[in-house]
């Protein structure tokens, strides 16, 4: 099984079907009230008449230029010869992953977000075991002044139940779970359950841009 759900007293192996439907986000922490409106950065780019899950390109692509298509075919063949197929989490994950201890102050979390331009930080204990995850959403959703929030431990705003995946998890399965669970990233763990990387939506998109044939976008 490729997916593992970590939590308090929990270390559950999940099939793909279970990972798609299992509720992994816990209840809001004791720092509520929580601002529940959806941020612009977390919303899909949809027109008013567009239903959720649909994508409608704003322009029309007209592949009429034979020269352009011929050039693309030549480049694609060369690229496919140079770059092998990408299938597994280990091939696209971001590493080294930035982590924090659960008792680290929230100011350290914010510093990681700003310094590295990331949106998710796994929490690990002294043995490097995964014990939680904190996101930008966890930080910005709290209706508390940052000066009051900064010295508190990251664990006070983090999610304790963390859906992770192994290094040999199929990329397509990762993408399906990211969308189904509406999460930004999935920590990747090794055979000893230590965090070795993270796969985000951005990593999935980069793999499409760098490795997938362009017909996928048409």
Share of the chain above pLDDT 70, in %: 66
Which pLDDT score is estimated for 25?
57
Two tokens, residue 171: 């990329």
- Bond before 121 cis per omega within 30 degrees: no
Q: How confident is the model at residue 83 (pLDDT cuts 50, 70, 90)?
A: low
Q: Domain 3-26+83-212 belongs to what architecture?
A: Roll (3.10)
More confident residue, 124 or 30: 124
Which pLDDT score is estimated for 153?
96
Contacts of 203 (CB under 8 A, 6+ apart): 92, 93, 94
Contacts of 121 (CB under 8 A, 6+ apart): 98, 99, 100, 109, 112, 113, 133, 134, 135, 154
Which pLDDT score is estimated for 97?
93
Residue 40 has pLDDT above 60, yes or no: no
Which pLDDT score is estimated for 81?
42
Closest CA to 182 of 96, 90, 56, 53: 53
Share of the chain above pLDDT 90, in %: 42
Q: How confident is the model at residue 51 (pLDDT cuts 50, 70, 90)?
A: very low
Max CA distance (Å), the chain = 62
Coil, strand, or helix at residue 81? helix
Q: Nearest 5°: phi and psi at 152?
A: -75, 155
Residue 72 has pLDDT above 70, yes or no: no
More confident residue, 145 or 60: 145
For residue range 129-139, list pLDDT tens digits in order. 999 999 999 98
Which pLDDT score is estimated for 132?
94
Contacts of 77 (CB under 8 A, 6+ apart): none
The domain ranges of the chain are 3-26+83-212
pTM of the model: 0.65
Span 7-11, average pLDDT = 67
Residue 61 has pLDDT above 60, yes or no: no
For residue range 114-129, list pLDDT tens digits in order. 999 999 999 999 988 9
Helices 171-181, 201-211: axis angle to 10 degrees equals 140
Mean pLDDT of the chain: 75
Q: CA distances (Å), 15 to each of 18, 70, 95, 132, 164, in order?
A: 5, 43, 25, 21, 12
């Amino acid at each position: 099984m490729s997916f593992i759900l970590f939590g308090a007293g929990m270390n559950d192996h999940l099939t793909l079907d279970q990972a798609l439907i299992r509720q992994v986000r816990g209840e809001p922490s004791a720092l509520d009230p929580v601002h529940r409106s959806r941020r612009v950065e977390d919303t899909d780019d949809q027109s008013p008449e567009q239903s959720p899950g649909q994508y409608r390109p704003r322009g029309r692509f007209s592949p009429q230029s034979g020269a352009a298509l011929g050039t693309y075919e030549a480049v694609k063949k060369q690229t496919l010869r140079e770059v092998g197929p990408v299938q597994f989490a280990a091939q696209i994950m971001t590493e080294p992953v930035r982590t924090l201890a659960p008792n680290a102050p929230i100011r350290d979390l914010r510093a990681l977000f700003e310094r590295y331009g990331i949106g998710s930080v796994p929490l690990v204990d002294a043995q490097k075991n995964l014990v939680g995850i904190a996101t930008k959403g966890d930080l910005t959703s709290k209706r508390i002044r940052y000066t009051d929030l900064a010295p508190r431990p990251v664990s006070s705003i983090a999610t304790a139940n963390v859906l992770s995946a192994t290094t040999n998890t199929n990329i397509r399965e990762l993408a399906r779970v990211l969308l189904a669970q509406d999460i930004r990233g999935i920590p990747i763990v090794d055979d000893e359950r230590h965090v070795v990387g993270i796969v985000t939506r951005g990593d999935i998109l980069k793999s499409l841009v760098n490795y997938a044939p362009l017909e996928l976008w048409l």
